[in-house]
Amino acid sequence: MTAKTHTSKKVPIPPYPGKREKGKESLIKVAALQFEPHIGDKEHSVHEGLKLIEKAGKQGAKLMVLPELSNTGYSYNTREEALALAESVPEGPTTQEWIRMAKKYDAYLCAGITEREGNCLYNSVAVVGPEGHLGTYRKTHPWNEEKLWFEQGNLGFPVFELPFGRIGCRICYDGWFPEVTAIYAALGVDILCDSTNWVVVDPLQTFKKPTAAYTAQAQSLMYSIYTICADRIGVERDCTFIGNSCIISPIGEFVAGPASPDKPELVMAEINVVAARYRNWSELNSKFTDRRTDLYDPYLGYDPATRRRKE
């Protein structure tokens, strides 16, 4: 099946605040790569991803996001199966292929991978660029049977300083915990790269309303951050994946996508990274200064002493 390209016009900078100087723009092309990995068939899965990387690179994309566990497929039956398919990062062959493509197109990739470190397995994203391996994000919140194969992420929320701005990574179920997005926003991240495998979890769910994409849209708006969601498609061991890959602006607009629920697609947009640097909604409203931490802390279990030290 041939992947089609879903593109959009460049995103204008929101009119507020007026302090922004004309010409202070950082325009880049970004892409979410939607395709169908096959469980256990790394050769096929990696090849499908490389085809879309090639296509996006030729169209000038400088930041590309691949789905969760894009090199192996998702639905493991046993830990032994996961161990057999896992690779070290960055020494493994898949990460080395991604580095090769990043150098070829002078681009940056955030790609989901089954990672092995010693006897531990992680649902991870390898972040690579022309310089090589920049770092790794490990999924903070394993979903369902992932808990049987993968450890909880232990690398925190790393921020990667790229030539055009700051990026952070999140993986699928992490998006259902708004604290993850809030932390990245507080750390000054401009673009959140979400490698995901959104799946049908309710037999009454339909593809007509991509609620997972709407969840990502709401968080982009709430935290004034770009989000690139790269989902997979297909049916794998009774799991139906819903596609709907998308690129969302800091004002909550779908600037590209949601994509098809069942076809490979290259979802691309030219975005203005500077738009994520101004998080005040008005002269008197800021998502960060308006937070009532004096009320939240007792209810959310935060340590008041920690809050006082930060102040």
Whether residues 255 and 237 share a domain: the answer is: yes
Can 172 be counted among the known catalytic residues?
yes
Whether residues 173 and 259 share a domain: the answer is: yes
Whether residues 231 and 296 share a domain: the answer is: no
Whether residues 252 and 299 share a domain: the answer is: no
Distance CA 102, CA 96 (A): 10
Whether residues 200 and 299 share a domain: the answer is: no
Whether residues 274 and 292 share a domain: the answer is: no
Residues of the chain with pLDDT under 70: 1-25, 202-209, 297-311
Out of 62, 110, 139, 229, pick the active-site residue.
139
- Structure tokens that stand for 164 in this block: 């055009």
Domain residues for 309? 287-311
Query: For 159-209, what is each residue's pLDDT tens digit?
Result: 999 999 999 999 999 999 999 999 999 899 999 999 999 998 766 555 566
Whether residues 81 and 198 share a domain: the answer is: yes
Distance CA 94, CA 212 (A): 28
Whether residues 297 and 257 share a domain: the answer is: no
pTM of the model: 0.88
- Count of structural domains within the chain: 2
Out of 110, 172, 193, 229, pick the active-site residue.
172
Can 68 be counted among the known catalytic residues?
yes
The confidence score (pLDDT) of residue 157 equals 96
The confidence score (pLDDT) of residue 24 equals 60
Out of 36, 68, 115, 265, pick the active-site residue.
68
Whether residues 110 and 221 share a domain: the answer is: yes
Please tell me what DSSP assigns to residue 9. P
> Are the C-beta atoms of 112 and 69 separated by less than 8 Å?
yes
Whether residues 156 and 292 share a domain: the answer is: no
The confidence score (pLDDT) of residue 233 equals 96
Whether residues 272 and 301 share a domain: the answer is: no
Distance CA 92, CA 105 (A): 21
The confidence score (pLDDT) of residue 49 equals 98
Whether residues 307 and 232 share a domain: the answer is: no
Query: For 114-148, what is each residue's pLDDT tens digit?
Result: 999 999 999 999 999 999 999 999 999 999 999 99
